[in-house]
Structure 1
Amino acid sequence: MTGPDRRTILKALVATLAGLSVGGLDASAASAASESWTTQTLGAFADTLIPGERRFPGDMVIAGAVTGPGAVQAGVVTLLHSPELPVAPLLPAIAALLDARAVAYAALRLIWLSPSRPPFVGLSFADRTALVGGLFDPDDLDRPIWQVMSLLVGLAFDTAGQQDTVEALAQGHPGLTWLRFPEPDADGLWRFPDFSYGRPLAALHPNTTASGSPA
C-alpha cells in the first residue's frame, strides 16, 4: 500500500481506541463529514459489519440488507472523522487500501465497477461481505488494521463512543436504542443492584473503597 505504512496506521488506530475509552468526543468537533469517496468507502465498510436500512432512495453506501439502524446511522462516520482522533488524517489511506482490495476482488470475478463511485461501494452486499470476511484471514498482512477498524465500528453502534452516553440516550442514539441500553439513574450514573447470575460471585473485600475500587 502507498502512503502511511501499516505501523503508522495501527499506532493511530490504537491511540484512537485509547482516546475513546476516556470519554465521548466534543460534539462541536465531531460534526459529520461530507460524503467524500473516503467517507463513502468507510461507510460501506461499516455497513457491511453492522448493516442498516438505506437513508434515502438510491443510497449506494448503505446496501439496505436489513431493516433498522446500522453503524452508519449510529454515527460511525462522525466518530472516524473527528479531528480529536489521531486516525482521522489516515482515513484516506485506509479507504484507498480497501478500494484497492475491491478492485482486485472484482477483477478476479469479472465484476464491472462503475467509475462514478468508490470501488468498494460498487460491490453488492454479498460481495462486500465476502471481501471483508477475507480481510480477517490469519495470513492477511493488513488484518490488524481491519481488526481495529471493526472495533471502532462496534464502538459507534454499541456504545455511542463519539458521544457522552447520557446525551446519546437522551437524543435517541440509534444503536443504544436498538440494543435497549438501560437508562441511567436520575443523577446520570448507572447502578446495577441485581447480580447478573442472581447471586454475588464473591464476598466484598472489607477494604474496598466507596467507588468500588480495591484498596
Structure 2
Amino acid sequence: MTFEEAHERWLQQHLRKRKGERRSRLERGYGHAERLFVKEIWWMLYGNLEYLHPEYEVSDWRGRPYFIDFMLKIGHWRFGIDVKSYGFHVQNMDRVSYKKELVREMYMQVYGYRLIIIPYDYIVDDPELIRNLLKLLLGPYMQQVLIEPSYTRREREIILMGLKSGIVRPMEVSVRLEVNRRTAVKYLNELCSKGKFRAAPTEMGARVRSYEYIRSTSDELLL
C-alpha cells in the first residue's frame, strides 16, 4: 500500500469516528505541516499509521478542551506530538497565549502524557535528524508494541530474504519455509499489502515470478 492510499484511509477512518467539534477540528486543523510530518517522518520510519491519532482532544488545567496535533497510543503509553512553526507559535503569539501554552504542556506531563515538540522547519530542512531522534526516543516502545506484532515469524524470514537480495521468488520462499508454491505466493501477497514488497513488472498477462523488496528506514527494527 502506498503512502497516499494509507494516509487517505487513515484520515477517513478518523473522520468517520468523530462528530461535532472533534470532526470539525480535524477538518480545519489537520493541514500542511501535519501531513508533512506524517509523510516525511512517521511513514518513512514505520510505514504504519495505526496507532497515530490526529488532532487529539485533551483537557487543560482548567478543564477546557485542547487539541494536540497527534497522540501516539501504544499500550498504556501516551505520547503527545506537536509540530510547531516559528511564525504561529512565536512571532504571532502574545505573552498571555505563550504562558498558557507552557502551563498546558506542563499539566499534560503531570497527568502522564509524554510530549514531543517538533520544529516545522526541521521537517522541511533536515527530516533525517527528526527521524533519527524519534527513532531513539520511541524505538523501545514501537519495537515492542507496534512493529513486532505486525509480522509473523514466517513473514520476518521473508523480509530478511528481501533485505539480503532485494528480489524474492516464490520458489525461494517455498524452499526456505518448506511450504508449497501457492502458500509462498500467499505470504508474499500479504507482505505486498503491508507495503514491504511489490510484484516485479512482467509482460501483460504473465504470471508474477518475483517480488521486489521495498526498503525503509525502519528495516533494522523489523528483524
Q: TM-score range by the shorter chain?
A: under 0.3
The higher relative CO (CA closer than 8 Å, separation ≥ 6) is in 1
TM-score by length of 1: 0.26
Larger % of strand: which? 2
Larger % of helix: which? 2
Which has the higher Rg, Structure 1 or Structure 2?
Answer: 2
TM-score by length of 2: 0.25
